[in-house]
Amino acid sequence: MIGMLSHRVPCMTPQTRSGYGMDERRICVRNMSKTPTPLRHIGIIMDGNGRWAQARGLARVRGHECGVDSVRAVTEEACRQKISQLTLYAFSSENWKRPKIEVSTLMRQLRRFLVEERGTIMDNDVRLTAIGHEHRLPDSVRRELDATREMSQNNKGTNLCLALSYGGRQEIADACRRIAEEVRAGTLEPSAVSEAEIQKRLYQPDMPEPDLVIRTGGELRVSNFLLWQLSYAELYVTEVLWPDFREQDLIDAIAAFHARERRYGGLVDQIGKKS
């Protein structure tokens, strides 16, 4: 699904898609963020890399390579927007089924990204974390992931969480397995199993639930991404392919989020908004 990037290639930067300039749009979004609909966590399903490359007569991996510019642009804009967490679906558990040459290329690009983007991460006070079955990643990738994670662990800005070898069903199954082991060991009573207990055993228990999930490339599905956490997330789908997704596109998604009413299963007047 999603390539994470590193080698720099010339990419087409989309033009501004509204009548506002970039700075004006940022001001509008900041003003909206003062409303009673806080936006703490954005998740992104970064889709369309292969289609972007094929449309240009390039190998699929070139789309993954070009996506690094989008990751950098979106991460920096998330920092400017004071987003607490940005979770990027970088490599799914299903992506291991891809052709071996594509998977090995993606792993090399991921390793390069973890090294080359350390300056961007530190300059923006970003804290890097990851979720997923990291043990399946090549040793070289795990070493660089650990190094970048350790280097940035005391940063106070946006938490950039990479979903690597990740699947939402897999995460829930892992949490249930831990609960079953604790019940068998007698450290947890079956009657005590609750949503809160499952939450405690997820990969990142303190992760705020995503407020907004963006999918690029126009597909209308969540593709096994954060299935437990996105119960009440607002979904935003754009036709823009990931290598073309830039700051303006993120700002537009945030503006769309703030224009919505979030009810969490209740009525508008029950959550203190106008009916």
Question: CB–CB of 230/213 below 8 Å?
Answer: yes
User: Is the distance from CB of 148 to CB of 6 less than 8 angstroms?
Assistant: no
Has 47 been annotated as catalytic?
A: yes
Contact (CB, 8 A) for 260 and 234: yes
According to DSSP, the β-strands at 212-215 and 41-45 are parallel
Phi, psi of 85 (to 5 degrees): -140, 140
In terms of residues, how long is the chain?
Answer: 275
For 112-132, give the DSSP string.
HHHHHTHHHHHHTT-EEEEES
Q: Are 8 and 69 in contact (CB under 8 A)?
A: yes
The whole-angstrom separation of Cα 89 and Cα 71 is 11
Which of 47, 211, 249, 252 is an active site residue? 47
Specify whether the CB–CB gap between 235 and 260 falls below 8 A: no
* Residue 139: count of CB within 10 angstroms of its CB: 7
Residue 205 near residue 174, CB atoms below 8 Å: no
From 49, 95, 159, 224, the catalytic residue: 95
CA 149 from chain centre, in angstroms, equals 16
Residue 174 CA, distance from chain mean position: 20
Catalytic residues: 47, 95
